[in-house]
Amino acid sequence: MKRSEELLGLSVISIEDGKEIGRVSDFVINSAKGMVEFLIIDNGYRYMGIKILPFKMVEGVGEYAVTILSSTSITDLSDEPEVNGLLEKNVRVKGTKVLTRKGKLIGSVSEFLIDDGGEGKISGCEVAPTNNTGQSGIIPADQIVTFGKDVVVVHEDAMPTPPSSPDTPDPPDPPDPPDTPVPPNTPDSSGTPDTSSRPSSPGSKTSPTTKSVPSTPTASDLPSVTPAKTNIPSASSGSPEQQEAEEQPETVSQEEDKTTESADKQEPSQAAKLFEERQRKYLLGRKAGKSIETESGEVVAEEGDIITNELLDKAKAAGKFTELSMNTRA
């Protein structure tokens, strides 16, 4: 399972040819199936047309690259007629509001998760609360009713579940208290066990110079022994220096995680920016191949209009940049 941002900017490698075909620049989402059906590939030759890769042709998704069997898996946009319809719907998922069936606002989608082991199914959406008043977390795909252009609709009882945190090691068990030995019969001041209280049998004779052999003490003869208190160190206790030493690796790990996450986010952003710059250079000076309108009927570009930076900015603001780029002529 991959976050969508982890795929953007990845190299596409052909296993058969052993070479890089391009990089993932965008997604084509099938809202009816709830899946990423195609990947848009930037091969550096945008003027030759948009290249797409059906997700079902993906062999694997790693942290470095997306692998495919052959470069023939990547086709032109014109070879997949259904893609135009999906692009016109312009379903982005990321950034859309999340509402229940009865209209309760839960938040907005900050990220979505892709099942990279299947055919690109969206397995869940990360939801950020609106105005920090709700609960953030992940809503699984089985709780999602509709993926729309502006809104993701979920079941009424759907609630974001906090993502599982990485496993942390359990604190070490406290050491067992040391065994307290039971002392033998307490000797007298001369170092010899006291046997003076032992009665002698009638008629027995005892040498005046020889002491009787002491009898084996019974449990009742032994003095009571109170075990000494043993301070068992708590797993969470310790001197300030020890606590600081234990907390230091976690702090360093968190800083490294933030640095890695920042780098991961920055790379797709730079790749998308470079992709748009190349696309703009190709489109400037061309003409619109058809009239482009918003869903409300506002005209973004008339057929035959010369494409300028102002027109591209207008199309981008209206969410019609992709549609305009696919309908141009010289």
State pLDDT tens for residues 43-61: 887 667 789 999 999 999 9
- Note the pLDDT of residue 197: 46
- pLDDT tens-digit series, residues 82-137: 888 898 888 999 999 999 999 999 999 999 999 987 789 999 999 998 877 777 89
Q: Are 169 and 235 in contact (CB under 8 A)?
A: no
Identify the CATH assignment for 2-89 out of 2.60.120.10, 2.40.50.140, 3.40.50.300, 2.30.30.240. 2.30.30.240
More confident position, 161 or 191: 161
Mean pLDDT across the chain, nearest whole number?
76
pTM, 2 dp: 0.49
- pLDDT tens-digit series, residues 247-290: 454 444 555 555 555 444 444 456 667 777 777 887 888 888 88
- pLDDT tens-digit series, residues 131-154: 777 778 999 999 999 999 999 999
The correct answer on CATH 2.60.120 for the domain covering 97-154 is no
Among 28-37, 252-261, 290-299, name the most confident range: 28-37
Using a pLDDT cut of 70, give the percent of the chain over it.
66
* Measured CA angle at 46 (ends 306, 5), to 5 deg: 110
Tokens representing 245 are 């030493």
Q: Do the two domains 2-89 and 97-154 of this chain adopt the same fold?
A: yes
- Note the pLDDT of residue 175: 65
Domain ranges of the chain: 2-89, 97-154, 283-330
Neighbouring residues of 254: CB distance < 8 A, sequence distance ≥ 6: none
Whether the pLDDT of residue 39 is over 90: the answer is yes
pLDDT, mean of residues 172-179: 62
Nearest of 81, 71, 89 to residue 27 by alpha carbon: 89
Whether the pLDDT of residue 77 is over 80: the answer is yes
* Residue 178: pLDDT band with limits 50, 70, 90: low
Tokens representing 302 are 């008339």
Whether the pLDDT of residue 317 is over 60: the answer is yes
Q: Are 111 and 4 in contact (CB under 8 A)?
A: yes
What is the β-pairing status of strands 144-147 and 151-154? antiparallel
First to last CA, the chain: 42
- pLDDT tens-digit series, residues 200-257: 444 444 444 444 444 555 545 555 544 444 444 444 445 455 555 444 544 445 555 5
Which run of H or of E encompasses 123?
A: strand 122-129
Task: Say how many C-beta atoms besides its own lie within 10 A of residue 219's C-beta.
Answer: 5
